[in-house]
Chains A and B, each alone.
Chain A
Amino acid sequence: MLKKRASGSAWSWLWFALGAAYFIIPLYATVDFSLRAKRGELSLLAYANVLKDPRFGETFLFSAEMSLLTIVTGIILIVPTAYWIHIRLPKLRPVMEFITLLPFVVPAVVLVFGLIRIYSHPPFMLVSSPALLVAAYLVLALPYLYRSVDTGLRSIDIRSLTEAAQSLGATWPTIIIRVILPNLRASILSGAFVTFAIVMGEFTMASLLVWPAFGPYMDLLSSSKIYEPSALAVISFALTWGTTAAIQLLSRRIPGQAPMAGLK
């Protein structure tokens, strides 16, 4: 028995080490490479170059702005929709799940060409509006946002909470804002984080709709520089991890939720 368990744990460690190596070796190599901009010594020259380039700040801010817009629009559209489907139209749930899978089936290139075709003629002249970019990002983010909200809704007794609030006099908007949203904070945060990561790294839509976004900038940099792309990769990796950590911290502080386990 003991022996078996010991060998079992040896196996799991082996698999863990293999998995970790798969992530850590390329990361280590990238960090190492990014520090060798000066011949013969380790330096932060590549990082300084990246940060000096005004386009870094501009594109990063632009993409961050777009991702925030996407997240906010997404929450406004998806939370009430998912909520309504849960309590009033449960039959539509499979349909909605299928719709949220479409971005995986339709490649981004196809989607963006479709958007350009439709929205470049009157009456819809939207190709040059950031609204179209946000809308396109929203399509990409839909599976992640919808699914995390859906999971959040499943984990609470949404019907009884709604009825309790109703019997206490609450109207629909009040219920969504004061009862539903606060209980979805953890799932909305995780959906928002994934959306943020997707939008920050997105290349196809931004470049075909010709926006100065972070994804196309990374691409441009990697085709014209040697060490700087690695430095940029490390920077965006650090930012990504920073955001995850922030979200973990935030969601742990949400009141009314047992630590880790969430709701019973």
Chain B
Amino acid sequence: MAFLELNDVRKVFALQTAVDNFNLHVEQGEFISFLGPSGCGKTTTLRMIAGFEHPTTGQIRLGNNDVTARPPNQRNMGMVFQSYALFPHMSVADNIAFGLTIARTPARETKKRVGEMLALIKLEALADRYPYQISGGQQQRVALARAIVIRPQVLLLDEPLSALDAKIRDSLRVEIRAIQRQLGITTIYVTHDQEEAFSLSDRIVVMNAGRIEQVGTPFEIYNFPRTAFAASFVGTLNVFPATVVDAAAGRIMVDNIALTTEAITTAGVGQQINVALRPEMISLNESERHDGDNQLTCVVENITFRGSIVRVQVRLGNQSLLVDEFNRPDLNVPQTGHQIVLSFPRNACLVLG
């Protein structure tokens, strides 16, 4: 039995189904990210966990209790909003103390715990300031402290960093993760930024159009995406249609070019499948070639320098392929219009459902 469970949760608004067939089991202390494009239902799902929206059907369980019908003020969940949502008329210290005051915590303990929180977010010096007197990054740290001082069972964050500029975003991200680890709070983090999701999470829930596409560790999501959507949403990807020639041997045809993948279990001979290939898995270097690797002869179309990598766009039949090479001084940069041979191991081909 998991700590937080969403069982068959579905949410229908007047005009559309925002969340459908949502099943997720979260273990205590886990850091989970909801990752997906705008409008895919991340916020709606988070708000159902918080109790601000009621599932049309389905069940939400927390620590072995059904909390589906429990109002938000009895769920003991900390919430951090994109807009900070600090109480403008209260000082930083009073904002953090709000939840404790509501729970009628004795004044001395309140003071002690607020002090601990201020130390945790390193804002002791600003305890008496009002929200309008501190920066956005500081406001969001106060909002985080306010949410965790009540020792919530679950911490919910809805794109908490997207209103901040890049530098603060990175440092605060590290801070959030450190605090979460230190306190062991079960956390759900909504974002549409894959870098955020990858660097923070124990597991990522990739969502699209109200449904879960895939749940897995960052490593699994990146290296073994199970759907075309998950594959293309995460990182850059070459996706092309192929026909299965021999499923067990992993032989397929792409535009009359024969390729070999790992054994295919999801499709039979003659069926159409989608095959994905990460640009960094393809090599232009003869020395990196091994026996049994796929080899293709292509024409170079375009070359882009992107700092640490060089991106080469090549043409293969009707397909355009992207190839990423690490930028090294000894890199043999191909020339536009020239023919080159590229190679990739058979396990680099991801067969998508």
Contacts and interface: CB of A to CB of B under 8 A. Distances in A.
Interface of A: 156-157, 160-161, 163-171, 174, 179, 182-183, 185, 254-258, 263-264
Interface string B98-123: 11001100000000000000000000
Given A169-B150, A256-B131, A263-B132, A183 B85 contact: no
Given A169-B73, A169-B102, A256 B132 contact: yes
B251 interface: no
B48 to A, nearest CB: 13
B77 interface: yes
A182 B88 CA distance: 9
B79 interface: yes
B52 interface: yes
Given A165-B98, A263-B132, A171 B90 contact: no
A168 B85 contact: no
A263 B88 CA distance: 8
Contact of B85 (A160, A171, A255, A263): A160
B29 interface: no
Interface residues of B, number: 33
A255 B89 CA distance: 6
Contact of A163 (B79, B89, B150): B79
A169 B85 contact: no
Contacts of B146: 164, 168
Interface string B71-105: 11111111101010111111100000011001100
B52 A166 contact: yes
Interface in B44-89: 50-52, 71-79, 81, 83, 85-89
B349 interface: no
Contacts of B77: 167
A161 B98 CA distance: 12
Nearest to A169: B102
Contact of A255 (B102, B130, B150): B130
Which of A156, A170, A185, A254 has the most chain B CB atoms closer than 10 A to its own CB? Answer: A170
What are the 4 A-B residue pairs with the smallest beta carbon separation, nearest first? A168-B99, A160-B85, A256-B89, A167-B79
A166 B147 CA distance: 11
A162 to B, nearest CB: 9
A180 to B, nearest CB: 10
Given A156-B88, A168-B78, A256-B88, 14 more contacts: A163-B50, A166-B52, A168-B99, A168-B147, A169-B102, A169-B103, A183-B87, A183-B88, A256-B89, A257-B88, A257-B89, A257-B132, A258-B132, A264-B132
B132 A164 contact: no
A225 B346 CA distance: 108
Nearest to B132: A258
B52 A163 contact: yes
B52 A168 contact: no
Contacts of A264: 132
B134 to A, nearest CB: 12
Given A163-B72, A255-B89, A263-B132, A170 B52 contact: no
A241 B103 CA distance: 44
Contact of A179 (B72, B87, B103): B87
A165 B89 CA distance: 13
Contacts of B51: 166
B83 A167 contact: no
